[in-house]
Structure 1
Amino acid sequence: MNVLLLGSGGREHALAWKLASSEKLGRLIAIPGNPGIAQYAQCMETIPLTDHDAIVTVCGAEKIDLVVVGPEAPLVEGIADRLAAEGIAVFGPGRAAAQLEGSKLFTKELCKAHGIPTAAFGRFSDPEAARAFIEAQGAPIVLKADGLMAGKGVVVAMTQAEALAAVDEVFAMGGSGPEILIEEFLEGEEVSFFCLVDGDTVLPLGSAQDHKRAFDGDTGPNTGGMGAYSPAPVFTADIERRTLSEIVKPTARALADAGVPFRGVLFAGLMITSEGPKLIEYNVRFGDPECQVLMSRLEGDLLALLASVARGELAGQKVALRPDAAICVVMAARGYPGDYARGTPIGSLIAAERVEGVRVFHAGTRSEGTRLLANGGRVLGITATGANVAEARERAYDAVARIDWPDGFCRSDIAWRALGA
């Protein structure tokens, strides 16, 4: 099979690495790709992901059998619908189903209509009404902008004064419309849970735990993710069973019944509360950096799984995960998620990958001759496997220490919950 992979981050590098191991793969092409992806694929760096016409043209010219969509924005913009209309198989949901990520309000209303456990909420188009709601509910409380916000459209206010002050800020964040969401603060531990879905069939793919805050101790501003590990110990077999029966399967059924079946990977962001799992949000693609740890544990043929989803033939497929643990430590440019410099040189990745069980995934890099340069906020994902989380973490940080990048930083406490420190 000839495959086109859309995206340029660490998630896509991990997918390219795993796809390249498939005996079913003919050629792998990436738009736009990155220097890490280029180890496995022909990268077409000049084509933007927003140019759907050009992507369709590439599919015809290169005889593409399957398109794998990495990031969320093309899905919300309808790239899967466009490809399907041209008779091209695609792994990723159409625009209507992608509203699960594209509109937080859409997801909350779906949960309300189908009894899916989630935080109680209100939706507001008027700032004064939003403030009145906050004064009635008290704090802590959570404010969210609607639409795609790259992980930055949420304010968790621990005091009423903080919440009231944040109302105008959240309205100004924009999103897909003039409304914002205000919901109850859920107590518990967060987990990312991934399932392959082809409309009718739901196949669990594994759990992970992300670290959103920029600095150690879960302090500092929210980011796209500073590290992850898999599996998440809090996500027990019983919690998985409840999540499937109470959250994921009812969601898939609701979309199918509405005539917009979901085909792709459904990423449920969960809070494991004293009452059980509750949905925080849905994403309609693999997480980043969760994808890196999941791909490191996945056994078997990823391409066969993704193709079966695209064809609606997921029933009967199996997912096997290595019993090993995996951890990903993100190295970011100093200043991220605020202002940061681009173009700083990175060295010694080969030395890092000499550590047993380690692979370095490129998230925001570019090549300049023989030099590798930083080209984003989150730049590298140092990913390691081990017999347990402790061994995987030791290997990952050993590799981090070997990388020559004075302008980068990382958290030193990834997986602290799993290790109790």
Structure 2
Amino acid sequence: MKVLVVGGGGREHALVWKLAQSPLVTEIFCAPGNAGIATLASCVPLVAHDIEGLVDFARRADIDLTVVGPEAPLVAGIVDAFKAKGLRIFGPSRAAAAIEGSKAWAKELMLKARIPTARYTVVDNLPAAQKYIKEHGVPVVVKADGLAAGKGVVVAEEETQALAAVEEMLAGRFGEAGRRIILEEKLEGEEVSVLAFCDGENVLPMVASQDHKRVFEGDQGPNTGGMGAYAPVPFYDAELAKEVKETILCPAVRALAEAGHPYVGVLYAGLMVTREGPKVLEFNCRFGDPEAQPLLMLLKTDLVEVILAALEGRLKEIKLEWHPGFAACVVLSAPGYPGDYPKGEIITGLDQVPEGVEVFHAGTAWKGGQVVTNGGRVLGVTARGATLEEALSHAYRAAEVIHFPGKHYRRDIGWRAYKLSPRS
């Protein structure tokens, strides 16, 4: 089977790494890929949003299965375009991917399906936003309606911060994505990511993971695409997993099907586990990044088998198997990220990484025979261990031997895992 993976970040490297382990796979292509992916797959010089070019390549190369990593091509309708040409592709349709493409649309869906989420309002002008903030006070969460690469969320504790955030978004900081904004109550509790394979009707949840969005230790500084993640989450027990499936995942998939948009792909539920129970912060229409890295490292089941079952509407036949213990990913970023950052810096030490640790490339390229930085998030150093402490120890030991100018990483990944259950 020839497989094409769309995207070029850490999530896509992890997908390629996992897909390559399947005996069903004979050859892997990745568009556009990166320096790390190039060791496992043939990189194709096509960007993820070049849907027409990707369709043409898949037809010419006789691709049997395409797996889409990033959200942007999904929201733009890559699945619809591939299916129109009779090509097999894993991911939700354009209509179903609106669950991430428009936070306002997703909120409306949740309201109709009675899925627990934060109270909110949607505004498209500054006076309305200012009025809401003045009346409801702070803290308040300000979100761009559309795609903003994980950076379109501001948790404002002060009124001046909230007003500045809405003014900046409505003024065009995120382009069309911020023409409408969502203002919602700040939920208190523990944040957790629950991803599930879906076949349009059935839902097959993965183990829970926890991302670290802020750039600095102690969850300080601006939001990023994610500075690290681990799985599974200690407080996410069987009772909580059952509640999430019954009150959030299944109702969402059912509501999408009833709306005429059956959801096939990976559904990502970003949750806050509050004292009242789990509530949705946001839905995403794909694997998370960096959550995919530890999840795919823990997944024992053949990923291709799961994808084929989802595409054929037979997920009920699949039972996911997981390696014992934990996995953790520590992201090494360029200096200045998530703001402006340099590119083209030489990366050394990759050949000194201890055995058993996987370094998933997120923003790298080849230049003059050397691996160089080519993005804000550069590498995702990922390891397994019998305990979370052991997995983190392996990952951090490897992170220390890798070098590039200004390398930055959080040294507290997993710190929330040692707290008590948020409902205790």
TM-score range, shorter chain: over 0.9
TM-score (norm 2): 0.96
Aligned to 1:365: 364
Give the whole-Å Cα distance in 2 for the aligned partners of 1:6 and 1:206.
Answer: 24
- Paired residues for 1:44-193 under 5 Å: 44=44, 46-172=45-171, 173=173, 174-176=175-177, 178-193=179-194
Aligned to 1:346: 347
Shift of 1:335: 1.1
Shift of 1:124: 1.1
Q: What secondary structure sits across from 1:287 in the alignment?
A: coil
Give the whole-Å Cα distance in 2 for the aligned partners of 1:419 and 1:374.
Answer: 33
Shift of 1:265: 0.1
Aligned to 1:37: 37
Give the whole-Å Cα distance in 2 for the aligned partners of 1:351 and 1:161.
Answer: 48
Aligned to 1:9: 9
Does the CA-based 8 Å contact 1:358-1:384 persist in structure 2? yes
Matched to 2:36, the amino acid is G
Does the CA-based 8 Å contact 1:361-1:383 persist in structure 2? yes
Give the whole-Å Cα distance in 2 for the aligned partners of 1:364 and 1:88.
Answer: 29
Give the whole-Å Cα distance in 1 for the aligned partners of 2:216 and 2:343.
Answer: 20
Matched to 2:296, the amino acid is M
Give the whole-Å Cα distance in 1 for the aligned partners of 2:320 and 2:13.
Answer: 21
Shift of 1:386: 0.3
Does the CA-based 8 Å contact 2:7-2:47 persist in structure 1? no
Give the whole-Å Cα distance in 2 for the aligned partners of 1:120 and 1:165.
Answer: 21
Does the CA-based 8 Å contact 1:123-1:181 persist in structure 2? yes
Aligned to 1:203: 204
Give the whole-Å Cα distance in 2 for the aligned partners of 1:189 and 1:16.
Answer: 31
Shift of 1:178: 3.1
Show structure 1 runs of 5+ residues with no match.
none
Q: What secondary structure sits across from 1:406 in the alignment?
A: coil
- Paired residues for 1:289-368 under 5 Å: 289-352=290-353, 354-355=354-355, 357-368=356-367
Matched to 2:40, the amino acid is Y
Show structure 2 runs of 5+ residues with no match.
none
Give the whole-Å Cα distance in 1 for the aligned partners of 2:179 and 2:368.
Answer: 46
Q: What secondary structure sits across from 1:373 in the alignment?
A: strand
Shift of 1:165: 3.1
Give the whole-Å Cα distance in 1 for the aligned partners of 2:370 and 2:124.
Answer: 50
Matched to 1:240, the amino acid is A
The alignment of Structure 1 onto Structure 2 pairs a total of residues equal to: 418
Give the whole-Å Cα distance in 1 for the aligned partners of 2:95 and 2:396.
Answer: 42
- Paired residues for 1:205-354 under 5 Å: 205-352=206-353, 354=354
RMSD over equivalenced CA pairs, Å: 1.4
Aligned to 1:194: 195
Give the whole-Å Cα distance in 2 for the aligned partners of 1:258 and 1:336.
Answer: 39
Matched to 1:279, the amino acid is V
Aligned to 1:411: 410
Shift of 1:176: 4.0
Shift of 1:420: 5.0
Does the CA-based 8 Å contact 2:169-2:178 persist in structure 1? no
TM-score (norm 1): 0.97
Shift of 1:313: 2.6
Matched to 2:399, the amino acid is V
Matched to 1:6, the amino acid is V
Shift of 1:177: 6.5
Give the whole-Å Cα distance in 2 for the aligned partners of 1:162 and 1:408.
Answer: 29
